[in-house]
Structure 1
Amino acid sequence: MSTRAQQATNRLKKSVHELWRDGNGWILVSISLGWFLSIGVRLVYPAIAPFFRTEFELTLGTTGFLLTVLWGAYAIGHIPGGVVGDRFGEGRILVISSILAAATVLAVATAVNVWMLFAATITFGLATALFGPMRFTVFTDIYEHRAGSAVGITMAAGSAGNVVLPIVATAIATYLTWRYSFLLFAPFFLLVAIALWRTVPARTSTGARAVEELSSRTIARIWEGISHGVIPTVVLIQICFSFMFQGFTGFYPTYLIDVKGVSPTSAATLFGLFFAMSFLIQPLAGAMMDRIGSRPTLIGILGVSAIGLWLLPFVDGLFLLVAVTVVLSILSGCAVVTQTYIADELPADMKGTGLGTVKAGWMLIGATSPLIIGALGDSGYFAESFLLLAAVGTIGLVITVTRL
């Protein structure tokens, strides 16, 4: 074995040891499984959207609004999610999130009209929002030097969920009914709740002190925590990413079917390919952040993914669509860098509250993307709407190069 290969092997062994020691490895596994389901089921929505449109007679605009309320509820839920995590403990909130998610997917599966579908979708978004900021807080608490790697691994697990669950859900919807897809997820959420309860400490941080101050100067305290250094710049970059990601993932399967003439099965497979590649990209992004820093990693991620979005409307044929999908998968590495950086820079006594607050802000803005894309689609500009996502990505790249 060459010296360079030996060094790489030694670094890998050291990283694995630091991630697994003191029982922290089981925490990483259980949270990763929770994120596998939490983000994976949310990304089932775009894959099932054509079936929703058929059964409930939804337009592209209404479909986009459904995705907007899903991500909007998920965004809004981050603020109370962060606060209650700081107050009652990160581990407890992760367990509660998984139990509530099990109940709400049952509600989605039994929706009999549009209003019930929207109501169940909102409650599912709120339930899974409790999971969002807590995983970053836990990892930055228990991993002093490997938080980026831990977050990358967890997000890769989410990408695995995004690969497997939409394809499985689409197959079930095609040969049976989409309702069985959501019924399938409930027992798995309950199993994850048990795993989290057994492995994650009730509290990993000192966040209770921040909550004690909420009655006197909540806004000032939160603003103090999130406005120092380059956190505002990183938040701007994350807003661009969130808008791109939610617009792209919200309508990519429908875009492939309606604009590119791809079959629903092939569209779900390409959608799965995006996340399959993300499974590789996200741990690599976390490792690159730990090794070379946030700025060069973000420049590479945003630069390549923006090029892919500019090319997408002009690409036809399955082979070229596969190639562009692989390029676009690099986009998924952005959140590993930005969110880990923000969580690490926030004051130790308010990481959950601070991250929950800023995350709610950028996700609310990003959640408007599916609604805008759907409205453009109903106006006859569905193909051109993806160029808007490319322009937003280019803005994020410019901010990274000039201000970070």
Structure 2
Amino acid sequence: MTEPTSGYLSAVSRSVRDLLAGRRGTVLIAIAGGWFLTMGVRMIYPVMVPYLQSAYDLDLTTAGLLLTVLFMAYAIGQLPGGVLADRIGERLILTSSMLISAITLVLVITAGSAIVLFVATALFGFGAALYAVGRYTILPQLYPEQIGAANGLTASSQDAGQSVLPPLAGIIAAGLVWQLGFGFAVPLFLAMAAVLWVVTPKRSADDADDAEALSLSGLRYIASILRQPAIVYPTTILVLGLFVWQAFTGFYPTYLVQEKGLSQPLSSGLFGLFFALGILIKPLSGGAYDRIGARRSLLFLTTGPIAAFLALPFFDSFWVLIVVTAFISTLLGFTTVTEPFLLEHLPEDIRGTGFGILRTIGFSIGALGPVFFGAAADNGFFDEAFMALAAFAGAIMLLALRIPAE
């Protein structure tokens, strides 16, 4: 191992030890645990698409619409989550999200019709969104000097959940009944709600009361901030990245089964590998952001996905697909760069609300990815849809050059 590499790994190790030390380390672990569960369960949906198609007679376009409903509800919940985080604090928001997720999953597994399934899915997505903003806005309070590294660590817990829980759900659904592929998570959400309520610090009354009402003058102030180049370009990258990410993750397992001929367990395992690599990629990209800034980090992170999306239609070998999946997985680091950048450039008095607005914009547009992707697949353009994703990733690379230098 070369001396620069050894020195870098040593610095990463010291950074992780600093993050996990003391009371704030306990809070960070609990928040990461909730994020592991929330995002892991959300990504069970793509694995369960074949089962839902059979149970409710859904074609790929309708299945894509179900995923769009999930992601759109998640997008819509970002703004209320941000406003509530500013007003009542993260402790109540994070705990409530866990309880809502548990209740709505019960509705998902007991749905008697496709309409009920769609409604329950929307409610689950909204509940998950409440957790998303709260777990971000608490980080600058806990780690003002290491926000990139702290975000990278919690973000890696997302990929740990997405690498473990979807394959587990696939095994449970194949071996038992598909409802248990969702249902096993209900007691986990309830347990996590109790943990978060105990360990998350309660915001003081003064802090909670400082959040201003969304008056006309307040909205004008927020709009003036959101028009700044330091906000516009990273937000546009966030939008494009989420569109690509949600389109890809929504149908990659189905693509591997229907177009590449893989079995359901193999496709679920490859899908899990995609997220497992994010456990490494996100802390490294967060550390890279702290060290070299957003622009250079994003240029590196988008190179692999562009090449991999273009190559994917031409290879059927399982071992080659592993390599292609690994290259695509570097895409997972884009939020670990853009979101800390946005948080640092939003004034503290509107950080929750402003960040909620930006994530609502990003996830609302990004949520359209699965339905367009599903429609393309239904019309025989599965391979071409992946090539289109390469073009979107190329646009992200070009926009990264426009981010103001730190």
Q: Find out whether 1:182 has 2:179 as its counterpart.
A: no
Looking at structure 2, the residues matched to 205 and 253 of structure 1 have their Cα atoms a distance apart, in angstroms, of 47
- Which residue of structure 2 aligns with residue 257 of structure 1? 257
Uncovered stretches (5+) of structure 2, i.e. residues with no partner? none
The DSSP-based 3-state class of the residue aligned with 1:131 is: helix
- Which residue of structure 1 aligns with residue 56 of structure 2? 56
Check whether the contact 1:148–1:336 (CA below 8 A) recurs between aligned residues: yes
Looking at structure 1, the residues matched to 327 and 349 of structure 2 have their Cα atoms a distance apart, in angstroms, of 39
The DSSP-based 3-state class of the residue aligned with 2:228 is: coil
Check whether the contact 1:152–1:285 (CA below 8 A) recurs between aligned residues: yes
Check whether the contact 1:46–1:253 (CA below 8 A) recurs between aligned residues: yes
The DSSP-based 3-state class of the residue aligned with 1:55 is: helix
Deviations 1:328-377 (A, max 9, x none): 11110111001111112111111111111100001110000000011111
Deviations 1:31-90 (A, max 9, x none): 100000111111000011111111111011000000000000000000111001111111
Looking at structure 2, the residues matched to 306 and 207 of structure 1 have their Cα atoms a distance apart, in angstroms, of 44
What is the CA-CA distance between 1:211 and the residue it aligns to?
Answer: 3.6
Runs in 1 of length 4+ with deviation above 4 angstroms? 1-10, 204-210
What is the CA-CA distance between 1:131 and the residue it aligns to?
Answer: 0.6
Looking at structure 2, the residues matched to 231 and 181 of structure 1 have their Cα atoms a distance apart, in angstroms, of 39
What is the CA-CA distance between 1:220 and the residue it aligns to?
Answer: 1.2
| Pairs within 5 Å for 1:14-93 | 14-93=14-93
Check whether the contact 1:86–1:206 (CA below 8 A) recurs between aligned residues: no
- Which residue of structure 2 aligns with residue 285 of structure 1? 285
Give percent identity, aligned residues only.
38
Looking at structure 2, the residues matched to 171 and 78 of structure 1 have their Cα atoms a distance apart, in angstroms, of 32
What is the CA-CA distance between 1:226 and the residue it aligns to?
Answer: 2.4
The DSSP-based 3-state class of the residue aligned with 1:203 is: coil
Looking at structure 2, the residues matched to 3 and 62 of structure 1 have their Cα atoms a distance apart, in angstroms, of 54
Looking at structure 2, the residues matched to 390 and 7 of structure 1 have their Cα atoms a distance apart, in angstroms, of 34
Check whether the contact 1:274–1:326 (CA below 8 A) recurs between aligned residues: yes
| Pairs within 5 Å for 1:220-239 | 220-239=220-239
Deviations 1:85-109 (A, max 9, x none): 1111112111111111111111111
| Pairs within 5 Å for 1:209-224 | 211-224=211-224
What is the CA-CA distance between 1:146 and the residue it aligns to?
Answer: 1.0
What is the CA-CA distance between 1:20 and the residue it aligns to?
Answer: 3.0
Question: What amino acid is the match of 1:85?
Answer: A
Looking at structure 1, the residues matched to 206 and 236 of structure 2 have their Cα atoms a distance apart, in angstroms, of 28
What is the CA-CA distance between 1:191 and the residue it aligns to?
Answer: 1.1
| Pairs within 5 Å for 1:339-350 | 339-350=339-350
What is the CA-CA distance between 1:210 and the residue it aligns to?
Answer: 6.5
Check whether the contact 1:83–1:352 (CA below 8 A) recurs between aligned residues: yes
Deviations 1:98-125 (A, max 9, x none): 1111111111111121011101000000
Uncovered stretches (5+) of structure 1, i.e. residues with no partner? none
- Which residue of structure 1 aligns with residue 308 of structure 2? 308
Question: What amino acid is the match of 1:221?
Answer: Y
Question: What amino acid is the match of 2:135?
Answer: R
Looking at structure 2, the residues matched to 59 and 206 of structure 1 have their Cα atoms a distance apart, in angstroms, of 52
- Which residue of structure 2 aligns with residue 335 of structure 1? 335
- Which residue of structure 2 aligns with residue 197 of structure 1? 197
Check whether the contact 1:208–1:349 (CA below 8 A) recurs between aligned residues: no
What is the CA-CA distance between 1:16 and the residue it aligns to?
Answer: 3.3
Looking at structure 1, the residues matched to 195 and 206 of structure 2 have their Cα atoms a distance apart, in angstroms, of 23
Looking at structure 2, the residues matched to 223 and 32 of structure 1 have their Cα atoms a distance apart, in angstroms, of 31
- Which residue of structure 1 aligns with residue 324 of structure 2? 324
- Which residue of structure 2 aligns with residue 352 of structure 1? 352
- Which residue of structure 2 aligns with residue 117 of structure 1? 117
Check whether the contact 1:61–1:371 (CA below 8 A) recurs between aligned residues: yes
Check whether the contact 2:20–2:29 (CA below 8 A) recurs between aligned residues: no
Structure 1 pair 110/184, CA: closer, same or farther in 2 (3 Å)? same
| Pairs within 5 Å for 1:365-404 | 365-404=365-404
What is the CA-CA distance between 1:314 and the residue it aligns to?
Answer: 1.5
Using structure 2 for the length normalisation, give the TM-score: 0.95
What is the CA-CA distance between 1:202 and the residue it aligns to?
Answer: 2.1
The DSSP-based 3-state class of the residue aligned with 2:144 is: coil
What is the CA-CA distance between 1:403 and the residue it aligns to?
Answer: 4.8
Question: What amino acid is the match of 1:11?
Answer: A
